Amino acid sequence: MKKGLKVLSSTCIAAFLSMAAVCGVSADNPPTDQEIMKTKNAKTDVTKTFQNDGYKPRTLLDSVKGDKFYWDYLFENHPIFKFEKEGRLVGEYSLSDRQEEFVDFGGGKKYAEKVGRPTAVTYRLAMESFLDFPNKFVGTSKCAECHPAQYAQWERSRHAKTIRFPEDLDEVNGDPKQGMYGTDTPILTTGIRPDDTFAIIGTPRTKYGFLDKWLVRGTYHVIDGTLDDPNSKIVAGGNQFSVNWTKFLTPEVAKKIQAELSPNFPTDMAGFGGSGSHMWGMNSYGATYQKKFRFQPASAYCEVCHSFKFDFNSKEEYLKALGNTKELRKHTIAMGISCEECHGAGAHLYGARGAGMASNCERCHQRFQYHEDDSKINPRKPFNSYFKSACPSCGTEGSQLYNSLHYDKGLRCNTCHDPHEVTANDWKDHYTLTGIKQTCQDCHKEQTDMFKFGGPHAKDNCTGCHMPNMMSCENFAAIQDPDKAGFDNVRASHIWKILVDKDRKSVNPPAGKERSSSVKGWRFDREDGRYFVDLMWSCGRTAFEDPNLVKPGASGCHSVIQSTLPKELHYKDQATIYDAVMQWQKPVKDGFAFVEDKLKDVDKAMVENKKLSTEQKSRALSYAKQAQDILDRLRKDGSWGVHGPKYAQKLIDEAKVYAEHAKDIATGKSK
C-alpha cells in the first residue's frame, strides 16, 4: 500500500500528527492513505452551505471539504479496498481529492503563499456538483421546449457527447466491447463490463475512458475475470482507449516516425513504458501501467468538464444507489456540457437557482499554471498555460488567448465561437470544424487582401498556420516530441503570433533541464511578454486530427509523415523551414528598406532643391505617396511576403519605380 503523504498540505499533515498518539501511529507504523484522508476530512462537515441554507455562497474550501461523506462511503464499499485486503491489486494507488485538483495543482500552493488565499489555478468548480442535494436541474429536454434551435445545435455537438451511457454510443451501436477501427481494441478495457460502469467518457475525436458504478474514475482494468470473480485482479493502468494510437499511430506509422523523423519514437508496447498497457491502443492514463494509479472520485476531477447531474433529494438516497448501475442511470437528469452547466440549474424557470450565465467557456478552457520565475517576465500576465508533460494540456485554449494581444483588445471565446454550435461538422469525424461567428478575415483586411492574390497558400485557411494543433489531450510523454511538432496534438492553439526564428521554440523545459519529454515543468516561451508559435509547429507539425492537415482536399502541409506534397517540401527541422521562409521574406524586406531610403532622399532633395517648380514638387510628392502607401500596406500585412510571395514582390518592384521617379524629379535628374 502506498503511503500517500505527497497529496497532503502541511496543515493536513500537522492535523494528522497531532492525533498520532491517539491512533497509535509512529515512524515505524506510518499512516495509510485512507487514514490520512479520514483525518484530513475529520472536521470538514459544512453545516451551512449554498445547497442547504439557500443564501450563503460557498467558498472554494467549502467545496473542497464538502465531500467527506462520499469518501467515507468509498472507503467502506469500493472494490479496490476489498481487492487490496485480499492481495489482489497489481500496483499501488494514491488518493486524489478536490484539495489536490483545485488547490494544490498548477502551482496553487505557491500562489496561495504569495497572495494569502487559496486559489483554484488549474481548474474551476462548477456552479453545482452532483453531490449537491437536492439540485434543481431540469434537464436539456425541458430547455428544448422553448429553445429548439439552440438545442438542435447543441445536440449534435461534442459538448453533448462528453459523457454517455454505454448503450448510447452510436459509433459502436451501443457495444463498447467491440473492436474499433478494424482492430481488437475495444472502447471499454479488459475485465470491465458495461454494467460495471456508470458512463463512458469520450468521443471519436480523442479518447474513451470510464466512470465505474461508484462514480470513481476508471484508472484500472481487471484480469482473470471481472470485479465479481473471487480470483480476479485489479491492475493499475491499461484503462483508456486512444483514438490517436488505435487509428493513426499504428505500429507501421510508429516505425515510419522513428525511421524518418523522431529516432526515439517507440515502436512496441515496451517502448511506451508506463503510458502503455497490455494491448496497442489501450493506454494508461491517470496511471502507470502495473505500478501506480490514482483513486479519484468524479467529484474531484471528471465532473468539471464531463458533467452529469442526478435528481436525488438527499445524500442518503444517493449513497443507496451507488454501485447500482440501473439506479444511477435512472436518476440521471443531465449529461454533458448541457444548457444548465452554463446558464445555471433550471436557468430562468420558477424556483430555479440559475439565471443568466452561471458559468462560461473559461471554466474548462482557461487552465493556468503558476511559476514564480515566469510570472516576472510579464507582470501583467503572470500565469502560464497548464502543462502535464511536454505539450500544453487540453483546456488551455483560454489561457493562451489570455496571453495574446487579441485578449487585450477585447476578444473573448464568444467573439468568434458560437457556444451552442461547437461542432459544425459530424461529431463522429476525427477532426472538429467549429461553429464560427467571426473569422480572421472579418478583422484582418490587409492580410486578407494580400492572401487572395495568390501564392502557394492561397487555398489554405489562416488557421492552418496561425492555429496549429499543438495541444495535448493526453499525458503521454512517450509520444510527445515538441521539437518535431508531434505526435499528440488534438486541439488548436490560440496564440496566433508566429515567430520567424531559426532556433526559438514555443515550448521549453525549465532553465537548465534537458529537452526531454520526461522532464516536468515545460511551459510556453515568450517574445515581448507573449506566447508565440514557432515555425516547426506552424509548418511542419504532424497532427492526425488537425482539419488543416486531414480534412478532404488537405495536403498534410509539410509534415514528413502526412504530407502529400513533393519530398523536397517535407520539413524535418525548424532551420530548414526558416531558410525557406527567408527566400520569401528577404527580397521583400530588402526592397522595403531600399524604398524607405529612397523616400528619405526625396524628402531631403525637396528641401535642398530650390529650383523645383510647383508642378515638379506635385509630381514628386505624388510618386512618393504611392510608394509610401505600398510600404504601409506591406507593414500592416506583417508577413513580409509569406501571405503572397509573388504579389508582395510585385508591390515592392512597383514601389521602387515610384520612389526612383520621385527622387529623379526631386534631384532635378528628370522633369
Peptide bond into 487 cis (omega under 30): yes
Q: What is the pLDDT of residue 123?
A: 87
Task: Tell which residue, 148, 199, 391, 233, has the closest CA to residue 307.
Answer: 199
Q: What is the pLDDT of residue 458?
A: 83
Tell me the backbone φ, ψ of residue 186, rounded to 5 degrees: -90, 165
Bridge partner residues of 310 (DSSP): 332
DSSP code for 624: H
Q: Among 43-52, 136-145, 478-487, 638-647, which is the least confidently predicted range? A: 43-52
DSSP character string of 377-435: T-TTS-EEEPBSSSSBPTT-HHHHHHTSHHHHTT--HHHHB-SS-S--S-TTSSS----
Mean per-residue pLDDT for 573-593? 97
Mean per-residue pLDDT for 604-627? 95
Mean per-residue pLDDT for 198-220? 96
- CA 351, CA 348: separation in Å to the nearest integer? 8
- CA 387, CA 393: separation in Å to the nearest integer? 5
Q: Can you read off the three cell numbers belonging to residue 383? A: 500565469
Q: What is the pLDDT of residue 30?
A: 53
- Per 3-state DSSP, the chain is made up of helix, strand and coil in percentages (nearest 5) of 40, 10, 45
- The more confidently predicted of residues 127 and 624 is 624
Mean per-residue pLDDT for 121-127? 86
- CA 559, CA 543: separation in Å to the nearest integer? 9
Q: Is residue 29 pLDDT above 80, yes or no?
A: no
Q: Is residue 498 pLDDT above 50, yes or no?
A: yes
Q: What is the pLDDT of residue 33?
A: 61
- 3-state SS string for 505-537: CCEECCCCCCCCCCCCCCEECCECCECCECHHH
Pairing of strands 92-95, 163-164: unpaired
End-to-end Cα separation, the chain, in angstroms: 94
Q: Among 24-28, 199-203, 487-491, 587-591, which is the least confidently predicted range? A: 24-28
- CA 482, CA 471: separation in Å to the nearest integer? 10
- What pTM was computed for the model? 0.89
- Length of the chain equals 671
Q: Is residue 110 pLDDT above 50, yes or no?
A: yes
Bridge partner residues of 384 (DSSP): 369
Q: Among 100-114, 246-260, 376-390, 448-462, which is the least confidently predicted range? A: 448-462
Can you tell me whether residue 335 is helix, strand or coil?
strand
Mean per-residue pLDDT for 158-172? 96
**Band of pLDDT at residue 55, cut at 50, 70 and 90:** low
- CA 268, CA 264: separation in Å to the nearest integer? 12
Pairing of strands 92-95, 292-295: parallel
Q: Among 29-38, 102-111, 423-432, which is the least confidently predicted range? A: 29-38
Mean per-residue pLDDT for 38-66? 61
- The more confidently predicted of residues 523 and 19 is 523
Percent of the chain exceeding pLDDT 90 equals 78
Q: Among 38-47, 189-198, 435-444, 473-482, which is the least confidently predicted range? A: 38-47
Can you tell me whether residue 308 is helix, strand or coil?
strand
Mean pLDDT is highest, among 18-22, 325-329, 517-521, for: 325-329
pLDDT of 398-433, one tens digit each?
A: 999 999 999 999 999 999 999 999 999 999 999 999
Q: Is residue 351 pLDDT above 70, yes or no?
A: no
Tell me the backbone φ, ψ of residue 323, rounded to 5 degrees: 85, -5
Q: Is residue 1 pLDDT above 50, yes or no?
A: no
Q: What is the pLDDT of residue 38?
A: 52
Q: Among 17-31, 471-485, 566-580, which is the least confidently predicted range? A: 17-31
Q: Can you read off the three cell numbers belonging to residue 563? A: 504530407
Type of residue numbered 624: A
Mean per-residue pLDDT for 631-651? 95
